[in-house]
Amino acid sequence: MKSFKFILLLLLVLIIPIRSWSQTPLINNNLLGVYGSQDDKVSRFQPMTLSFNTHHWQNGGSILVEVFQDSYVPAYAKYIVNLGYGFGANWGEKQMILVESSGEKYFDLEFGPEFDLGVVQSGYPNKGVPIYLKMKPYLQCRIRVTHSRNIVQTLQNSNQIQFPAIGTPTVISDFTPSKFSNDPLWTTSSLRVQGNDNHYIAQGNFGIGTTTPGEKLSVNGNIRAHEIKVESSATTWPDYVFDQDYDLPKLEDLKTYIVQNKHLPNVPNGTTVEREGVSLGEMNKILLQKVEELTLYMLQAADHAKKQDEAILELKSALKEIRK
């Protein structure tokens, strides 16, 4: 009989935690109400508030927030919110990442100012931060939140989330909704872009064969093209070489410079080119300047030769008269 009671007690000890664990939701999925902006006014709601400890490790993973714009024009956006250790707690910055956007959206999510919850955990304060929904006029949105936080009425501990009543929105100044993902695009497969519209990178630098591009386009390798067009300002193009007041270097000075420096004036030497590379636009201007200067030297030489020929003819004529 005692052994039967012991076995029964053991089963209860094992079954009750399993049952409790199975009834505890690991992932919460909350559908919030309808948020409607006021007519002809830009509005702001506070659909949720999050808590976190400012220093310690803490539970609570990423929060998925989906916004459905279901009036005016259809649109959809998906945000990832990261708030916790390494993301605003102890180090790093909290994140609001727009990972997907479809349609012409007239809303946006953003963090509000942090505030103290008046609770200290192991020497460090717990704080709260609201998430705001900003909306253009005549708009209606619904929100779905997927998370693993504890839902509470009043924030106190870390890893909690509060869903305030919708209430009356706050009228705010106008804003420009973000339309593009601010999440880095990573792939170990081929990156392919198709479509008839223009494709562009609005900001930053682009690298091929390098992870540290220093220019708008940095290529560590060869480039093949049918034509490369380099634009330049008319004021810097070397037409000025043919101006009447252009100071053409004397050949004697040019010779001295070449002997001392082993390259032409204003032309980078081999060490500089190896270290910094060559700007095609600038180098073309320099080379054109040298060609135009060389043309002037040739014209000067031609004038000098013509004068010499004329002088020789005069000498021949004079010599001929003397021999008569």
pLDDT tens for 170-215 read 999 999 999 887 777 788 888 888 888 888 888 899 999 999 999 9
pLDDT of residue 6: 53
pLDDT of residue 10: 53
β-strand pairing of 206-208 with 217-219: parallel
pLDDT of residue 271: 92
What does the angle CA 14 – CA 16 – CA 22 come to, to the nearest 5 degrees?
A: 105
Phi, psi of 9 (to 5 degrees): -65, -40
pTM of the predicted protein model: 0.66
Instruction: Give the three-class secondary structure for 319.
Output: helix
Spatial neighbors of 272 by CB under 8 A, at least 6 apart, are none
| Burial class of 135 by CB neighbour count within 10 A (0 to 12, 13 to 18, 19+) | buried
Give the residue carrying structure tokens 């386009």.
217
CB atoms within 10 A of CB 34: 12
Counts of helices then strands in the chain (DSSP H, E): 4, 16
Instruction: Give the three-class secondary structure for 273.
Output: helix
Instruction: Give the three-class secondary structure for 88.
Output: strand
pLDDT of residue 43: 96
Secondary element (H or E) of residue 100: strand 95-103
CB atoms within 10 A of CB 267: 14
pLDDT of residue 26: 80
Q: Cα separations (Å) of 213 from 157, 204, 205, 270, 279?
A: 44, 9, 6, 23, 16
Which pair of structure tokens corresponds to residue 208? 């091929």
270/262 Cα distance (integer angstroms): 10
Give per-10-residue mean pLDDT for the chain (324 aa): 56 46 68 92 97 90 95 93 93 94 95 97 96 96 96 95 95 92 81 86 90 92 90 88 92 93 92 89 91 92 91 88 80
Instruction: Report CA 173 to chain centroid distance, whole Å.
Output: 26
